[in-house]
């Protein structure tokens, strides 16, 4: 969830999450090359750019055409900046990354501007078209998928990506009602879900988990994350840093396991007669880091953010 302005969030209502922690984690060098795989509104990218010298490079990516338009308007004239519209899962296919990267940032999940614009269909707080695509020019919208999926597929998505305990009932109700009235608006879907399950004691809207699950599925967020982490690992130079901000336990688990897989020897197997050798190629930098109280007071959306950082080991250490 990124922000904009000359500093963190200046000139924008959207604050870059864990701004200072991210810049510290990336350990920006003036002549280095850094990739922001989730540009959003450029809060983190702008911070990196301010630390780069004339020989440094900033590569920015985003699926969202609105984000790319902001990047081109605000950074396009800077010769140090290159811009690519696409998922960070495609970063290894971008020629600009071929020479290697000194730092990579993924700020996962939906951005604040996407949530706040009703026409994007991410939030039921403001009624809008039931879309949810980060790239509105690619793939099925949420409305299109809900119009064709059977109840088992819908229930599986709600359970897998949000642990929605009422997933089957919600799915059956969607399928039963969609022929009489197609689901085309966010308010329609939210009201339907609220009609079949009561509001919990925590007062969270009954549709919250379902909207989250559908968004993750529609945008292939977890699959893209797995591919993107592998691509970032391949493109990082020795000593380069990977910083990932997660907002969901499934995302964080993928990031945590990825770092562990490259930094820790797997658990031994007593049935194996010969111990398998292991050479670490990443080093975890600290543990899971969260936003501090001051940031949470200014930006409540940071409450679920988790930052994990890893450094690619030089060849002599990995040998």
Residue ranges of the annotated binding site for S-adenosyl-L-methionine are: 42-44, 62, 88, 107, 114
> What is 151-171 written as a DSSP string?
HHHHHHHHHHHH--TTHHHHH
Annotated binding site: 42-44, 62, 88, 107, 114
Contacts of 34 (CB under 8 A, 6+ apart): 26, 28, 48, 52, 56, 57, 58, 59, 101, 102, 103, 104, 105
The position carrying tokens 């790239």 is 135
> What letter would DSSP give residue 198?
P
Contacts of 296 (CB under 8 A, 6+ apart): 302, 303
User: How far is 137 from 88, CA to CA, in rounded Å?
Assistant: 17
Instruction: Report the sign of the C-alpha dihedral through residues 303, 241, 100, 50, in that order.
Output: positive
State the alpha helices, DSSP H only, in the chain: 19-26, 43-51, 65-75, 112-116, 142-148, 151-162, 167-178, 186-196, 208-218, 221-235, 249-263, 293-298, 315-318
Check if the beta carbon of residue 157 is closer than 8 Å to that of residue 217.
yes
Cα(first)–Cα(last) distance of the chain, in Å? 38
């Amino acid at each position: 969830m990124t922000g904009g302005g000359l500093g963190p969030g200046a000139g924008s209502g959207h604050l870059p999450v864990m701004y200072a922690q991210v810049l510290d984690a990336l350990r920006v060098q003036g002549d280095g090359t850094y990739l922001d795989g989730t540009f959003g509104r450029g809060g983190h990218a702008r911070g990196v750019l301010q630390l780069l010298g004339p020989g440094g490079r900033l590569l920015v990516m985003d699926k969202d055409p609105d984000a790319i338009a902001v990047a081109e308007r605000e950074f396009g004239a800077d010769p140090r900046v290159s811009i690519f519209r696409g998922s960070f899962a495609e970063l290894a296919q971008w020629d600009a990354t071929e020479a290697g990267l000194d730092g990579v940032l993924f700020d996962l999940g939906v951005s604040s501007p996407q949530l706040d614009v009703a026409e994007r269909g991410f939030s039921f707080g403001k009624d809008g078209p039931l879309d949810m695509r980060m790239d509105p020019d690619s793939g099925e919208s949420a409305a299109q998928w809900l119009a064709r999926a059977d109840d088992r597929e819908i229930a599986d998505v709600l359970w897998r990506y949000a642990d929605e305990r009422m997933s089957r009932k919600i799915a059956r109700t969607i399928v039963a009602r969609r022929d009489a009235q197609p689901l085309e608006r966010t308010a329609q879907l939210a009201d339907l879900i609220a009609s079949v399950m009561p509001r919990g004691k925590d007062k969270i809207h009954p549709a919250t988990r379902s909207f989250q699950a559908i968004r993750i599925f529609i945008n292939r967020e977890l699959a893209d994350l797995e591919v993107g982490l592998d691509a970032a690992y391949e493109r990082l130079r020795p000593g380069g840093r990977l910083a990932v901000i997660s907002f969901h336990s499934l995302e964080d688990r993928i990031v945590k396991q990825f770092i562990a897989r490259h930094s820790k020897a797997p658990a031994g197997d007593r049935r194996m007669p010969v111990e398998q050798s292991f050479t670490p190629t990443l080093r975890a930098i600290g543990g899971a880091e969260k936003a501090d109280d001051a940031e949470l007071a200014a930006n409540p959306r940071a409450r679920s953010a988790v930052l994990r950082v890893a450094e690619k080991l030089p060849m002599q250490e990995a040998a």
